[in-house]
Amino acid sequence: MSTSKVRTRFAPSPTGYMHVGNLRTALYAYLIAKHENGDFILRIEDTDQERYVEDAVSVIYNTLKITGLKHDEGPDIGGPVGPYVQSERKNIYLEYAKKLIEKGEAYYCFCAKERLDIIRTNAEALKRPYRYDKHCLHLSKEEIKEKLDSGVPYVIRQNNPTTGTTIFNDKIYGKISVDNSELDDMILIKSDGLPTYNFANVVDDHLMGITHVVRGSEYLSSAPKYNRLYEAFGWEVPIYVHCPPIMKDAHNKLSKRNGDASFEDLLKKGYLKKAVINYIALLGWNPGTTQEIFSMEELKENFDFMNINKAPAIFDTIKLKWMNGEYIRKLSLEEFHKLALPYYKEVLHKDLDLLKISELVQSRCELLSEIPEQIDFFEDLPEYSPDMYIHKKMKTNYENSLDSLNKLLPVLKDIDDWNFENIKNSTMNLIKELEVKNGLILWPFRTAVSGKKFTPGGAFEIADIIGKEETLKRIEVGIEKLQNIQ
């Protein structure tokens, strides 16, 4: 398929796990295409049947749907260059591998595992990298036909030159040169008839008209092999966009093996999908400005793959959390309330005005999963230490806190119409009457009604939400706690 239109692809393996690096690859491929009004294609690479996980394709579809990375062609919606699942393209790969054999660019290899093991052992003993010794390249046509007719298992290998160099120009990393003597005659078609990852990629990318291939920098060393395949076929080489690795810290990569979060894990931890996408976009790409918060439309408009960095990107959870907080605060109260409700239900069972709680929590929340811990005191007064009444800045201690609560209790009892304004006015009038600093009354008040050092909202908001009866009961508990240590 020849095309002047930009066409990119996301080609995940169905392993049941959407790694952050995979999602970044999908995002960058999507943004490169959409920045130029091009096509974004989804292809499922399932030729490695040992790694196949049931329902893993659903994870891929769901992730693309949730993140808004809408593909223009793919297994579920079809397109002009299907099928878009590699296991359904088996005959195509064999046909193209045989074309390479006819050109002398590939050959049948019938070597048994035992022989290959000996070559590997010898290479290890000599401390050299393992490379196949081209033994089967020298078989006559008659020998090959005889083995094929006899059903001897075979693979098809690429026939790489042993002299000279292969040069590869990468848009991000520049010129990469490799001695051909270092290139192994990699397997193109495995003994089960399925292609290897490297070969299937090249054939599919060409036939599907892919103009830009986005992948991790760990594949840089494989680039010369890809180039040799393109040259062997006489095909145009696509633009390769290699992304820097995403690191957990200076020494360790993010990985499933280390238990690092997948995209689904991040959502479960209370991150918003738009915040995650925004953050992942900046893992390796520099917009060239100080802007950090980007909508998807702004990313499409601003994304230039030439601004991808070579240096590894550190996955900074503190930065992601900050960004998530920014996104939470940008939500309307109704949007936030809808997202917060499941978290409220974990800890709140009383008949409370949850919308009022949302008004307090939204501006103080960076992660949705933090909500239960922030609001559990609305349900029940936690067990707390009287030491919480001591506050240096507020100049409160056991004695004056007890005095404040004793004076506050009858004032609150006298409120007939229990609401925020009346609670506030009555309390502030008491402060004025006593001629004391606000903190001397408000710190013991908030401590008594919450039992916590940090709360969303102050004493007036909390008292309004939990109601008069519960407020008075909690203040009486506070008085009792303080009396017990006098």
Tens digits of residue pLDDT in 299-332? 999 999 999 999 999 999 999 999 999 999 999 9
The rounded percent of the chain whose pLDDT value lies above 90 is 83
Whether the link from the prior residue into 83 is cis, omega within 30° of 0, is yes
pLDDT at 167: 85
pLDDT at 49: 67
70 is catalytic: no
pLDDT at 323: 98
Strands 246-247 and 313-314 come out as parallel
What is d(CA 328, CA 363) in angstroms, rounded to the nearest whole number? Answer: 8
pLDDT at 225: 85
Domains of the chain, first to last:
7-74+203-243 (3.40.50.620), 92-189 (3.90.800.10), 263-330 (1.10.1160.10), 331-372 (no CATH), 381-484 (1.10.10.350)
User: Which amino acid type is present at position 3?
Assistant: T
Enter the tokens of residue 260. Answer: 């690092």
Catalytic residue among 5, 103, 171, 256: 256
pLDDT at 171: 81
pLDDT at 3: 55
- Tell whether the model's pLDDT for residue 18 goes beyond 90: no
pLDDT at 345: 96
Mean pLDDT, the chain, rounded, equals: 93
What is d(CA 457, CA 463) in angstroms, rounded to the nearest whole number? Answer: 10
385-436 pLDDT tens trace: 999 999 999 999 999 999 999 999 999 999 999 999 999 999 999 999 999 9
| Straight-line distance from the first to the last Cα atom of the chain, in angstroms, rounded to the nearest whole number | 87
The annotated binding site for ATP is made up of 256
The annotated binding site for Zn(2+) is made up of 109, 111, 136, 138
Mean pLDDT in residue range 447-462 = 96
The annotated binding site is made up of 109, 111, 136, 138, 256
Q: Which range among 179-193, 345-359, 457-471 shows the weakest confidence by mean pLDDT?
A: 179-193
Count of Cβ atoms closer than 10 Å to residue 421 Cβ = 10
265-284 pLDDT tens trace: 999 999 999 999 999 999 99
- Tell whether the model's pLDDT for residue 52 goes beyond 60: yes
- Tell whether the model's pLDDT for residue 80 goes beyond 80: yes
User: Which amino acid type is present at position 343?
Assistant: Y
pLDDT at 364: 94
207-255 pLDDT tens trace: 999 999 999 998 888 888 889 999 999 999 999 999 999 998 888 887 7
Global pTM value: 0.90
154-212 pLDDT tens trace: 999 999 999 999 888 888 888 888 899 888 999 999 999 989 988 999 999 999 999 99
Contact yes or no for 476/449 (Cβ under 8 A)? no
